[in-house]
Amino acid sequence: MKPAIRIALPALCLALLLGACGSSPRTNHYLLSAHEAPVPGGQTPSLGIGPIEIPQYLNRNALVYQRDGNQLQVSAQDRWAEPLGDGIQRVLAINLAGLLDTGDISYFPWHARRSPDFGVQVTVLNLDASDRQARLVAEWLVYAGSTDTPVARRISELRQDLPAGALSPAQIAPAYSVLLYRLSEIIAGEIRAARSAP
């Protein structure tokens, strides 16, 4: 092989490789957001958030949403900026801190000698979005941290209407954030009731 061809062939391959990399589609990253609230001023009640469990089909970086019937769309270009379970835990913690005016928040697992006043466990049974609405179905448990005695346990189903037309991945994170705030309001109400009970 001539020296000129030996030099030109690798250079051509490198140029093709770099050209292919430059044409890959842009990746979008999305983050769940907590409801805006003043920074909590109190330290009671202390709250322990977690564990948070999500279905395996949601346990991935890519956004997953419903198409037709039982079909799911796994987006190649639209991703969560953090693991979805971690995002749900973070948003619930911030929301509950604001709703209950407490800065004393722990994430599961916490130290055995420092049990919170109330623990909150959430199992997400369904979290999806379609062309018409976003939907959250979650089983949740509030319990007394010192004794593990259940205070309230329920399955909540919440829906959030989406703008008319084809679903855009950019609509999913804001809609899920609204659903998580509404779930936080329900859980905070049970904690308030437990604190005021004789």
Domain extent listing, the chain:
3-196
The pLDDT of residue 13 is 56
**Distance in angstroms (rounded) separating the CA atoms of residues 96 and 28:** 28
Length of the chain: 198
The pLDDT of residue 10 is 60
Q: Write out the two tokens for 140.
A: 């949740």
Half-sphere exposure of 165 (CA within 13 A, CB side): 4
**Distance in angstroms (rounded) separating the CA atoms of residues 185 and 180:** 9
Q: Write out the two tokens for 39.
A: 């920074």
Give just the sign of the alpha carbon dihedral 104, 106, 111, 116.
positive
Structure-token match 């709703």, residue found: 99
Q: Write out the two tokens for 53.
A: 């469990």
**Distance in angstroms (rounded) separating the CA atoms of residues 156 and 70:** 22
What is the CATH topology of the domain spanning 3-196? Rossmann fold (3.40.50)
The pLDDT of residue 120 is 98
**Distance in angstroms (rounded) separating the CA atoms of residues 152 and 105:** 19
The pLDDT of residue 47 is 97
The pLDDT of residue 21 is 53
Per-residue model confidence as pLDDT tens for the chain (198 residues): 555 555 555 655 555 555 555 556 789 999 999 998 888 888 889 999 999 999 999 999 999 988 777 888 899 899 999 999 999 999 999 999 999 999 999 999 988 788 999 999 999 999 999 878 999 999 999 999 888 899 999 999 999 999 888 888 899 999 999 999 999 999 999 999 999 887
**Distance in angstroms (rounded) separating the CA atoms of residues 44 and 46:** 5
**Which of 90, 105, 49, 101 is closest to 173 using CA atoms?**
90
The pLDDT of residue 22 is 54
